[in-house]
Structure formats: C-alpha cells, structure tokens
Copies of this chain bind each other. A is one copy, B any other.
Amino acid sequence: MRNLNEFTITDAVLDRVRQAPGARTRQISEALVRHLHAFTREVEPTQEEWGAGIDFLTRTGHKSDDKRQEFILLSDALGVSMLVDAINHRFPDGATETTVLGPFYMQAAPQLTLGSNISGKLEGKPLFVNGSVSTIDGAPVADATVDVWHADGEGFYDVQQIDQLGALAGRARFITGQDGRFHFWTVRPAAYPIPQDGPVGQMLDAQGRHPFRPAHVHFMIAAPGYETLITHVFADGDEYLDSDVVFGVKDSITSPYVEKPAGTAPDGTEMSNPYAWLHYNFRLKGK
C-alpha cells in the first residue's frame, strides 16, 4: 500500500478498517470512510478549504463544555438529529411523537415537588403547565420522571445567563402521582435563535438561514418498563413553526399556550395578573 492516488486510496483505507474485530465497528467505519471520501471527492476541497474544515471542527469542540454542546447544535442544524430520531421511531404506535434532545439538557436539574415554580430568576409571563403521563391505552403511569427545561420570556436558557442568575432555573424533574398527573409553574418561553456566537452560528450565516426555533418546552419522560420519551411541546401559532432551524416541529406536539386573565388558576392559585396555560397528555410506549 504505497503510491496511493485518488482512485486507489479509498479501497486501501477500507481494507485497513475491515480489520476491526467488532462487526458494528467494522460496519460504521466502512460506511464512514466511503461517505467521507465520496463527500471529499465530490467537493474537491483545496488545501485551504480542508484547513478551514479542520479549524471549524476544532472550534466546534472548543466551544463545547459542561454548559454548551456545539456538536449537538451542529447535528441539529444539519438535520442529522431529527433523522436519527426518525430512524429510531419508525413505527407509528400511538405513543407521543419525539423530537430532538437539543444542546441544553442538563443532568443536574433539581427534583421538585408537584406544583413548584421552577422559574427562579428567569423573567417572563407566568405559565401554568399540567398534564398526564399514560400508556398508549390511556392507563395512568404513576411515578414517571418528568424532566422539563425551557427558555425564558426573552428566549434564553439559564445556562446562557448563569452569571446573572446565580443558579439553574427553568428546569426541574417531577414525579407523577398515582393518577399519572403532573403540574408546575414557570414563565412562558419565547421563540429564540440558537446560539450564534460559535461555529454553528457562522455556518447558518454563511448558509443564509435564520437561526430561530419556535417557542417550546422540552420534556424527557422516563418510567420503568417504558421507552424514554424525548420531545417538546411547541406553542401553537408561533411564527417559526414552519421554519424551525433544527427541523423538529410536528403538529401532534404543538399545543396552544392559552392566554388566561387574572383569577383562580387550575391548581387553585390566585393570580392577580394574566397568565398562560399549557396542558398536554403524554403517552409512553411499553418496552
């Protein structure tokens, strides 16, 4: 294997990666080499463009830390995350539809009691969220873990303004009651641009794309014996529903954030100001 040229090198690399002892590693490695070489062969990058690609990936890595995941953002913005999601949820089965995890999920969210206000120092209009977790047949799922996270009324997550906030906010973990129900208070999230101060923002700019996502609340719902559900509930009527920068919107997970006047909220709270109300029933698929 010397004197390789543009016509012989792909087979040479494939021969090498076929040495992989694991069948799955072999399959992924072979496919990666074939598609990566096909991309390179089609685009015919100059050495400078190759260098710009190396630099883009390096900066994407450097931008990622425990509060920011620029490679997930890149996967999202290129539609790869939704493609993987679609491949892994191929068969309609009556369960709630899925969408991307996104780059802002954090393991460290606090577990709170039902009814808590999770907004912390986030600013925005009050939002009451309630709903239920059930099986496909509608039987309540008790003790399900309902992980929620969302942006504030300006479209920023807590981790994007952690220095000002001083603590996580707009995220928590709840446990459903015996009736499978949950409820909590927070602030209404706004539509927002994905972070633009990194390589992915530069890519969108070069591609002439707007960076917005329609307003949504993230949900990750897990219960023993059920497949973990990763989804959002989007705000019905949002102007970006048809052009979500990460291609994640589905009608079945779009719901009205109903405007309510001051008065008694569904959980009995006396509201002296108007608020919004989001209600959604999630259905989990058994394993």
Contacts and interface: CB of A to CB of B under 8 A. Distances in A.
Interface of A: 1-6, 9-10, 12-13, 16-17, 19-22, 25-29, 31-33, 35-47, 49-50, 54, 57-62, 64, 69, 71-72, 75, 78-88, 90, 206-209, 241-244, 247, 249-251, 254
26 contacts: A1-B243, A1-B247, A2-B241, A2-B249, A3-B251, A6-B83, A6-B86, A9-B82, A9-B86, A13-B79, A16-B207, A17-B209, A19-B207, A25-B207, A31-B39, A32-B43, A32-B78, A36-B39, A40-B80, A40-B84, A40-B87, A41-B87, A46-B88, A47-B85, A50-B80, A50-B81
Contacts of A31: 39, 42-43
Given A36-B35, A39-B35, A20 B206 contact: yes
If over half of A's interface residues share one DSSP class (helix, strand or loop), that class is named, otherwise mixed; here it is helix
Nearest to A57: B71
A88 to B, nearest CB: 6
Contacts of A13: 78-79, 247
Nearest to A6: B86
Closest A-B pairs by Cβ, 3 of them? A61-B61, A13-B79, A35-B39
Given A9-B79, A80-B36, A28 B57 contact: no
Counting every copy of the chain, the complex holds: 2
Contact of A57 (B20, B27, B57, B86): B57
A37 B87 CA distance: 11
A44 B24 CA distance: 11
A243 B15 CA distance: 11
A86 to B, nearest CB: 4
Given A13-B79, A21-B208, 16 more contacts: A1-B242, A1-B244, A3-B251, A4-B79, A13-B78, A16-B207, A19-B208, A20-B207, A25-B207, A33-B79, A36-B39, A37-B83, A40-B84, A47-B84, A57-B57, A57-B60
Contacts of A2: 241-242, 249-251, 254
A243 B60 CA distance: 32
A232 to B, nearest CB: 13
Nearest to A45: B84
Contacts of A249: 1-3
Given A36-B78, A37-B79, A78-B33, A206 B22 contact: yes
A43 B60 CA distance: 24
A33 B83 CA distance: 11
Most interface-central of A4, A21, A69, A250 (chain B CB within 10 A): A4
Given A60-B57, A84-B45, A6 B50 contact: no
